[in-house]
Amino acid sequence: LKNPILVPELRDLLHKKKVGILKSFLEDGHPKETAEYIALLDPDEIWRIINLVDKDLRIEIFSYLDMDVQVEMVSGTRKKNITELLMGMNHDDRADLFLNLEKDMVDRLLVLLPLSERADVIKLTSYKEHTAGAIMTTDYATLYENDVVEKAIAKIRREAPSKETIYYIYVVNDEGKLIGFVSLRKLIISRPKKKIGDIMKRDVKFAYTSNDREVVARIIEEYDLLALPIVDEDEKLAGIVTYDDAMDILKEEQTEDLEKLMAISGGVENKAYLDISFITHFRKRAFWVIVLGLVGILTAFIIEFFSSAIEALIVLTFYMPLLNAAGGNTGSQSATVVLRALTLNELVFKDIFKVIKKEFFVSLFLSFCLGTIVFSRVILLTDSSSIPEQFTLMSIAFVISLSLALQVLWATIFGAVIPMIATKLKVDPAVVSSPLLATCVDMGGVVIYFSVARLVLGI
């Protein structure tokens, strides 16, 4: 829509005091984009720029700045600016900022806030990471059952600037317990003299402060909500989580699942690929690569154990990668669909036998297809002069295709069952990564292969 004004230009405009141009640049743009453009300036320059616009926009731009820039900015400024800023920020963003400050900075800033706001910061920063409490905000709008519509609207109008959302309004009783909810839409189309108790919806979806944040995000997604109320252990309304935070959570969880699935460990970095140092990339990947390397060494022992079979029949080694790949592929497939179904709450542990039954039939068909292909390949394209006399091509083809079929069967069912068991044991099923699975399946595959060969061919 417009060209970004770049850092040197911004600096130049600031130096030449071109207040009008800077002001309209800030006012016309989306605060998120503005924050991206100015983030590379010095903290002092950023302050000078955002001080040009009115308080609301200033706070919005500030909230979109990266956390490290925010921390730098509040760590070196005079009191006036900072109090206004801390008072105006969304309560969840503010709590995040405090969580990222040094201890002494926290103390210095807390005293700038009035008592009630101070308590709010302390409360919101006290919840365990990744819980609903840790992501919720406390600047929501409430009404009482006996409030009358026209007065309620007047109240909401007054409070609107300080609330994160006014489109969903929660109804509480005298003890602060959540008893209903009303949307702004419902409010403005209702007759002015009606009571809130008569127009509110009593069956409200909610979550507890101790619930996992992903649970909260999934409820918001499932019921198309704008926000979900969060209550404490006494069912008292403690905060809300809005849909935009839910989207961010789902995005982060998705990256996390994907990384786990691909054997990448550690938390999700909040940085872009190129901004992450290669050492961090290395650290996140090394753990599993090394663990799987060690497991791979076990496989080497197993093959060594069967080395006489290999010596007797070199042709068997030609199909080892194919066998491993087929096991890895079919196992990853079944693990993926089951994992996805578990994530979306389509499956629970007691479905395990239904899952095994379904995967059994799927793998039977897959085994048959692959077995036929490989059988034909061995029969049609093997140089029979290379085969020791005591074996027939037919028996070798039979061994290879039977092993392949058994490997697919075992890999598919193993891949489906493991995530289900992990869920039952309350282990994150995504940790059963596709590479870990493939490596375990490899081991089983080698045992299957050479055992079948020994049994059928007597080697």
Q: What residues numbered 402-431 form the site for a copy of itself, per CB under 8 A?
A: 408
Q: Where would I find the H helices in 223-351?
A: 243-261, 278-305, 307-312, 315-318, 320-343
Q: Of 45-53, 110-118, 207-215, 260-268, which part binds a copy of itself (CB under 8 A)?
A: 260-268
CB of 79 to a copy of itself, least distance (A): 29
Q: Which is nearer to a copy of itself, 109 or 397 (CB)?
A: 397
Integer Cα distance of 186 and 140 in angstroms: 17
Q: What are phi and psi of 128, to 5 degrees?
A: -65, 145
Per CB under 8 A, 119 contacts a copy of itself: no
Contacts of 440 (CB under 8 A, 6+ apart): 295, 414
List the one residue from 105, 243, 431, 456 that touches a copy of itself (CB under 8 A). 243
C-alpha 82/C-alpha 402 separation (Å) is 73
Closer Cβ to a copy of itself, 110 or 341, answer by number? 341
Residue 61 tokens read as 């731009």
Q: Which residues of 307-318 are buried (b: 16+ CB within 10 A; e: fewer)?
A: eebbebbebbee
| Site for a copy of itself contains 207 (CB under 8 A) | no
**Binding string, 77-106, against a copy of itself, x = CB under 8 A?**
------------------------------
Q: Rounded to an integer, what distance in angstroms lies between the CA atom of residue 220 and that of residue 246? A: 7
Q: Does 333 bind a copy of itself (CB under 8 A)?
A: yes
Q: Which is nearer to a copy of itself, 239 or 327 (CB)?
A: 327
Residue 337 binding a copy of itself, by CB under 8 A: yes
Site string for a copy of itself, 175-204 (x = CB under 8 A): ---------xx--xx------------xx-
Question: Whole-angstrom Cα distance, residue 120 to residue 296?
Answer: 52
Minimum distance between the CB of residue 296 and a copy of itself, rounded to whole angstroms? 3
DSSP secondary-structure letter at 269? Answer: P
* 40, 119, 294, 421: which one binds a copy of itself (CB under 8 A): 294
Residue 417 sits at φ, ψ, to 5 deg, of: -75, -40
> DSSP letter at 266?
S
Residue whose CB is less far from a copy of itself, 101 or 135: 135
Cβ at position 112, least distance to a copy of itself in Å:
27
Q: Interacting stretch for a copy of itself, rule CB under 8 A, among 74-82, 97-105, 142-150, 286-294?
A: 286-294
Q: Does 226 bind a copy of itself (CB under 8 A)?
A: yes
Length of the chain: 459
For 170, the enclosing helix (H) or strand (E) is strand 168-172
The Cα–Cα gap between 211 and 132 comes to: 5
Letters for 142-161 (x = contact with a copy of itself by CB under 8 A, - = none) are -----------x--xx--xx
Q: What are phi and psi of 138, to 5 degrees?
A: -105, 0
Beta bridge partners of 143: 171
Size of the site for a copy of itself (CB under 8 A): 110
> What SS3 class is residue 451?
helix
- Considering the complex, state which of residue 119 and residue 364 has its C-beta at the smaller distance from a copy of itself: 364
- Closer of 46 and 313 to a copy of itself (Cβ): 313
User: Which position has the token pair 């020791």?
Assistant: 388
28 binds a copy of itself (CB under 8 A): yes
- Judged by CB under 8 A, which stretch of 41-49, 116-124, 127-135, 438-446 contacts a copy of itself? 438-446
DSSP type of residue 137: B
120 makes contact with a copy of itself (CB under 8 A): no
263 binds a copy of itself (CB under 8 A): yes
